[in-house]
Amino acid sequence: MMKRLGCLLLALALAGSLSGCGSSGPAEGQTFAMDTVMNFSAYGETGEDAITAARERIYQLEAELSRTREDSEVSRLNQAGGEMTVVGDDVWKLLTSAKTYSAATGDAFDITVAPVVSAWGFTTDTYQVPSQAELDTLLRLVDDSRIQLEQRSDGCYAALGQGQSIDLGGIAKGYASDCVAEIFAQYGVESGMISLGGNVYVSGAKPDGSAWRVGVQDPQDSSAAVGILDLTDAYAVTSGGYQRYFEQDGKRYHHIIDPATGYPAESGLLQVTVVAGADAAREDDGNPAGTGTMCDAFSTALFVMGEEKALDFWRSGAYEFDLILVTDDGRVLVTDGLADRFTPMDGSEYSYETVS
């Protein structure tokens, strides 16, 4: 939790201290939801109302999407035993998008990995290393192609395969940022920023017309950054093995599970940051949940895939986004779409490369 909070405060401190505020400051708010601290900043006469609405929307999402709450939609779906179950618009969008991102990344992102995540204790914070026999059994359940989705005249329905369960934690905060972005637009907030535990969205530019400045976490030092991003009307989502982990017998095990092996991913990456313009995800491309959701899913999937496959995926041009990769051998790789928007930290011990 402290590492996630450190990342959050770093991003906000850099953005706030360099913001060059206009004649009046922003409305600001903070809450704790989805297991993380969330901060909001919105300029304009409707800023306070927008932040109030954003908080209420996030509480609603937490009630719907948490698989640890017995009365949530996700829990009801997990408990349905493979029977078709009516789901609301939020769950429908997330299921549809999750299947799209899973197919796109060769199943490096798969929400049906939930039973494996539970076996490691990351759902309840009762950490343990499961036996290979247990993992082999649970891995038979990891296959999101078995999720059935149907739109009927009376609503949207979904069913999991027998014995399966889902965990939307890998995209829920990204989706929450999409929902807050919609609220900002509804309330006419043209300049604002939200940070939802590593998921950052900036609305427009700062009041003086300049870009927002957002720090990119140093995965080896929670109080430092590897660089600064200049962002306007964009999302930046970061995933890393340092965000949640435990140690046993001298070995560290982090929470990003490789759906193919059932073990924490060992890909040579310490951190992945995915950056995309606000309109990068389009519903006609099978991305009804929005750009924040896409960035959240890809930050996880590309961490699992590793440097070479992650860059190949980016180079394919199938989706509009850019990357910052931090490798375990001390390199920071920045795709060329960010070359004029990323500033390395002075005195950093990392080596920096621009990737074409």
Q: What does the domain layout of the chain look like in residue ranges? A: 2-66+169-355
What letter would DSSP give residue 317? T
pLDDT for res 3 = 38
pLDDT at 281 (0 to 100): 81
Alpha-carbon span 330 to 205, nearest angstrom: 32
Residue-level pLDDT at 16 = 44
Q: What is the pLDDT of residue 189?
A: 96
The residue type of 308 is E
Q: What is the pLDDT of residue 27?
A: 96
Q: End-to-end distance of the chain based on CA atoms, in angstroms?
A: 35
Between CA 226 and CA 153 the distance in angstroms is: 51
Distance CA 170, CA 238 (A): 11
pLDDT along the chain (356 residues), means of 10: 41 41 76 94 96 97 94 95 94 96 96 96 90 97 96 95 94 96 96 94 95 94 93 96 86 94 96 94 82 96 97 96 97 96 94 97
Query: Under CATH, which number does the domain 2-66+169-355 receive?
Result: 3.10.520.10
In the block, tokens 């939200």 appear at 194
Q: What is the pLDDT of residue 5?
A: 40
Burial class from Cβ neighbours inside 10 Å (0-12, 13-18, 19+) for residue 329 reads exposed
Report whether 36 contacts 8 (CB < 8 A).
yes
Euclidean distance between CA atoms 233 and 112, whole angstroms: 32
Q: What is the pLDDT of residue 6?
A: 41
Token pair belonging to 59: 């509480």
